Structure 1
């Protein structure tokens, strides 16, 4: 996004504010930096890509992209909705079309132009596309299947039983911590990969306090703390899993690969709680969950979201889950699993929202409708 003293043709130069004041180059650069920082790098990449696509489409069809007429904006998703993929299904989902239109509106707003996307022609066209998709059964939602408590315990147990040497134990400790912490904390995969070592602390009463410095719904970084409690059984205890992984991270950061190799033979078998053990010192700003080579060497870089997704599928497959079920799993299975399990255990939406960070109960209850449809449902009491 560019900040200049001029405004594009067709815009309202002042909107009642008067002439644009003269600003120093330094001030203009600082404003531009603040505007850029208002969105994550990922969002900026997506917006730029979507905007290039719209400009190219407009160029091909002989329409101006900025400012765009509402009829142009309405024609854009209609044209895309008719595009078919190789398998014969619709190439673009309704959510993708909505995002494209939102990006068009964003570029109009940020250049002080009238937003064509709020006109009834555009909003009604998008509504019609969604209804047509729904009627024809095109591109239905395909949410990730939830992993419930029993699934997490089964997968973690399988991972620990599969350990055959120090390298596989390094992988197991990371994946067990990721699964148990991700599930108990109702974390998105983006939350997990963004964690630094200094974001996690063992609390003598609560278990773990995990500070989210920012999240998908907290782009301004107000922050939040999620508690992951001690549990009765050590094999399913998120704080224990964290301590076991923290030992690996600390050993690697201090002495590299030799430090990890020296650590593991001296560690007693994991037969009881270790969550109240003294924690080794770690670099506070270092990533907590990291990529690991096949030979057990840790990386200094954070694990990617795609790697979280792949690890969950790989561990589920190794635990004997059917291939069709594995194909439905992903990074969101941990968060979806927490919400689904909590509803099945009788928690209400507001209690669940305390952990998930949802701001709308309807969003949390969507999981109940999709994955726990019998919870609170009168069909269980009709006497059949």
Structure 2
């Protein structure tokens, strides 16, 4: 290596957890000539490795393989990974370090900078969850290049364990939309417009099924309607069957009819499909032009979050908070948490509806459950 080439900062994590470092770069703005192009320019992701030319008869298979690669993770995950790689590459560029190939000591210093607030200009420390996501993004990106990163190396694992012990905090949960809140939110929507009918159906189906926002917009009318669909529906006399594809396979969700047509998820969905003239493809689509036409394109999951925020603000839900605080409190997850918190049934039924593997995960969604139903203090005789 030439004297001018950037070097990874040499710091060592000993078996007892102590750390030492040497050859730390003197200036954060120095960029040496040996830095790879993507680290210098801050590209969103590493350039793909050169691919050998394929015979013509294999090109279609290669295209299909790329489609399967894209389907291996959600669009949200890919966007987050691209953003995290951009963040890491920019940090390397500022410090004159190599982003490629992976260096465990560089990664150890990077996550330390994220935890201490020195990785970005705003000097705000990243949460433990954000740091773990950034590390997952780097691991995934390096793996795609065929240069795997060893997360179990002590330079990474020991530093990360210390970050968890020092900075771990309870997760900030989104506010649950309870039944009375949902009814008030529905009243803010225009029943005389296609957009209002669509939004009513989305809120009621999302709440009744305890669905994630990606599951709501991923629904199709029938099985195999689209390649990007995450499930489909079947309308029966007593309710709605939703088939969903998740990380661990397919699951079935039952959404029963409501006590009145005004709050019935099935009626709301049937009304939307009939007036929007949708019989095939995505259930929830964009409204075009002056609001009288329905397009072919599926909504994105971000539009579900915006809908929940907008309707909650318009309905005055949690009016004791400022508008800014309320906007932060509500999101697509609020519908899922609302069902878990308000359904007065045995916990195992809520767990099945939400698709949770454990009852403990379901309890995290229950914002107003009877926490002291079992009083161990009295049971012990005090």
Same fold by TM (over 0.5)?
A: yes
Residues 1-384 of structure 1 aligned to structure 2 (within 5 Å):
2=48, 24=55, 26=58, 29-30=62-63, 31-83=65-117, 90-134=124-168, 141-156=171-186, 158-159=187-188, 166-167=192-193, 170-198=194-222, 199-204=232-237, 206-212=238-244, 214-215=245-246, 217=247, 222-250=249-277, 282-285=278-281, 287-292=282-287, 295-300=290-295, 301-321=297-317, 322=319, 323-324=321-322, 326-327=326-327, 328-342=329-343, 345-348=344-347, 350-368=348-366, 371-372=368-369, 374=371, 376-378=373-375
Measure the CA separation in 1 of the matches of 2:239 and 2:82: 42
Match of 2:188, SS state, is: helix
- 1:82-134 CA-to-partner distances (Å, cap 9, x unmatched) read 32799977352221211111122223334444533221331221232233324
Give the structure with the larger strand fraction: 2
* Superposition deviation, residue 317 in structure 1: 2.9
Q: Relative to structure 1, is the Cα distance of residues 296 and 92 closer, same or farther in structure 2, using a 3 angstrom cutoff?
A: same
> Once the two structures are superposed, what CA deviation does each residue of 1:25-70 show, in whole Å capped at 9, x if it has no partner?
7368354554344233443333233223323433443433333222
CA pair 304-381 structure 1, distance change in 2 beyond 3 A:
farther
Structure with greater helix percent: 1
Structure 1 residue runs of 5 or longer lacking an equivalent are 7-21, 251-281
Deviation at 1:332, TM superposition (A): 0.9
Sort the Cα spacing of 1:133 and 1:34 in 2 relative to 1 into closer, same or farther, 3 A: same
**Cα drift, residue 208 of structure 1:** 0.8
Distance 2:235 2:378 in 1: 44
Higher normalized contact order (CA 8 Å, seq sep 6+, divided by chain length): 1
SS in 2 for 1:210: strand
SS in 2 for 1:177: helix
- Superposition deviation, residue 337 in structure 1: 0.9
C-alpha distance in 1 between matches for 2:121 and 2:146: 42
Name the TM-score, length of structure 1 as normaliser: 0.70
The alignment's C-alpha RMSD in Å is: 3.5
**Structure-2 separation of matches of 1:231 and 1:179:** 13
- Deviation by residue 1:263-311 (Cα, 9 ceiling, x = unmatched): xxxxxxxxxxxxxxxxxxx3311x3223336943244133332322222
Shift of 1:336: 1.0
Deviations 1:190-216 (A, max 9, x none): 111222233222112x4111233x34x
Runs of 4+ in 1 over 6 A off after TM superposition: 3-6, 84-89, 379-384
- The DSSP-based 3-state class of the residue aligned with 1:291 is strand
Contact 1:249/1:288 (<8 A) preserved: no
Q: Is the 8 A contact 2:276 2:294 kept in 1?
A: no
Are 2:91 and 2:119, in contact at CA under 8 Å, matched by a contact in 1? no
> Secondary structure at 2:87's aligned position in 1?
helix
